[in-house]
Amino acid sequence: MAVIVPVKPPPVAKSRLRAAFGEQVSALAHSMAADVLGAATAASAVSHVYVVSSDDGTLAQLQRPGVSSVREPSGAGLNGALAAGVVAVREADPDAAIIAMPADCPAVAPADFDRLARELAHRATPLFVPDAAGTGTCALCLPPGSQFQPAYGPGSAARHRAAGAEALRGECWARVQRDVDVPSDLEGARRLGVGPATQRWLRRGLTRE
């Protein structure tokens, strides 16, 4: 099982949080990405993790054992970044199943990746976990050899469902569903329990007044 984590460069990462956190939003985005990568590398079902970004500094900062860096083609966007990650995975292991996980889910835990892997092992079709609002997509899971095309962006849950992916629902996916786009999302993630890097960011007092 391989995990792909696309990460936006600092100038454009988490733009909807800038009004609340100003320049500190770049540190928050980096912290959340580090926690997603940490959870993925600690999962027993995950053999390798790929971080994809168009920013060389971001790739360098997020490098760690078990993580490979993939350069996102210029202007490719999220779906293009995921496509580049899929190519890298397939080159390394054509038979690998894949989990695509956004970099802004700081509450995700190793057990969540293992649970996604178990779900995917029993199905031949792609799976996805909708975001907390039910309209977007957090995790997207592709079985070995799948040619399914990611369709992230506003309303992606409906597009993924229409393309044949099966939605995973239930309280057990709460940590996966809690992506952080606005300050209230960060509080929701904090209540679920965020990873150590995001915890450190919060302890420094960089929270909304």
pLDDT truncated to tens, each residue of the chain (209 aa)?
999 999 998 877 788 888 888 889 999 999 999 999 999 999 999 999 999 999 999 999 999 999 999 999 877 789 999 999 999 999 999 999 999 999 999 999 999 999 999 999 988 999 999 999 999 999 999 999 999 999 999 999 999 999 999 999 999 999 999 999 999 999 999 999 999 999 999 998 654 44
Task: Give the residue carrying structure tokens 């190519």.
Answer: 87
Predicted pLDDT of residue 151: 96
Torsion on CA atoms 162, 165, 166, 170, rounded to nearest 10 = -100
Predicted pLDDT of residue 76: 74
DSSP assignment letter at 189? H
Task: Give the residue carrying structure tokens 């302890």.
Answer: 203
Q: What sign does the CA torsion over 145, 38, 10, 137 have?
A: positive
Residue 127 within a domain: yes
Residue 94 within a domain: yes
Residue 208 within a domain: no
What is the tally of structural domains in the chain?
A: 1
Predicted pLDDT of residue 205: 64
DSSP assignment letter at 173? G
Contact 70, 88 (CB under 8 A): yes
Residue 209 within a domain: no
Residue 120 within a domain: yes
Predicted pLDDT of residue 206: 53
CATH of the domain at 29: 3.90.550.10
Six-digit token pair at 2?
């391989």
- Which domain, by its residues, includes 30? 2-203
Q: What sign does the CA torsion over 24, 27, 31, 37 have?
A: positive
Contact 87, 14 (CB under 8 A): no
Phi, psi of 140 (to 5 degrees): -125, 125
Residue 63 within a domain: yes
Q: 170: number of CA atoms within 13 Å, CB side? A: 6
Predicted pLDDT of residue 11: 74
Predicted pLDDT of residue 207: 46
Residue 116 within a domain: yes
